[in-house]
Structure 1
Amino acid sequence: MATLGQASFPKGFKLIKGDNLSGEDDRYSNGKDVFQMHFYFRSYDGDYKGNDEKYKQHITESIGYPVYKTTDGLLWGTGKTGEYYSYLVVDWSGEVFELFSKDNDADFSYYSKWLISSIREYHKKGKMFMFPRRFRLIS
């Protein structure tokens, strides 16, 4: 079992707090590019068995552009949704990470490579890549 490893974002990315007190809907942005997590597995009505063909199809239908499987079992896809360019990676446990931006430029390319390579690096160290979470303290 992997331990959780909170991602260290590239320089310049700041937290944009969402409404959920756990930080589940938080985003991280540098003013141009944005990272966020998705919870597509929650709407998945099949038994999740890793990034199999059925789950790959579910993600493809959810985001509206093709998703591919890497040789090491990650799912990834890139496309345009509305005004935004999107790059998505699904890790080995079904966690979905997205980078989006209005610009499909060198920064978008760099950060998309950073995302997938960071997920792999954490995995290699026995850690599960995860965005930092906020927790509400109950007194």
Structure 2
Amino acid sequence: MAEEIVSPVACAVCGRELAGEDSIEEEGKVFCEDCYIEGHHKIQACNPWAVRSKKIFREEAGLEGTEGLTELQKAIYEFVVSRGGAKKDEIAEKFGISPLETENQFALMRHCELLKGQKRADGVYLVPFKDE
């Protein structure tokens, strides 16, 4: 019996070439494992329970300001503060992260009440939660 030849497929998000066994198919699209996982792990920015939990945790741990953030989160925060605000696509480009990762990082800093969204004439900007 002849062995069936399977053509490689490309991830619908990143374009990486995948062997059949290394791909995940969903709704007619093929994804690599990294893109599939990233696409299913969006953190909600507007979540009162997450804000409350994070606030209690940070108070109990004695964390203030950017203490307890990752290096990436600290860098994003400083970038936003230094510019008086930044759009999410500017942050993604500056730090070489995906739009979803930018959303997730923002959500975590929103839960810490460090950043918030602000509507301006040319779009939505991330700005410091409290005026400095």
Q: Considering the TM-score relative to the shorter chain, is it more than 0.5? A: no
- Highest Rg: 1 or 2? 2
Q: As a proportion of its length, which structure holds more helix?
A: 2
- TM-score with structure 2 setting the length: 0.25
The answer to which structure, 1 or 2, has the higher relative contact order (CA under 8 A, 6+ apart) is: 1
Bigger strand fraction: 1
* TM-score, structure 1 as length reference: 0.25
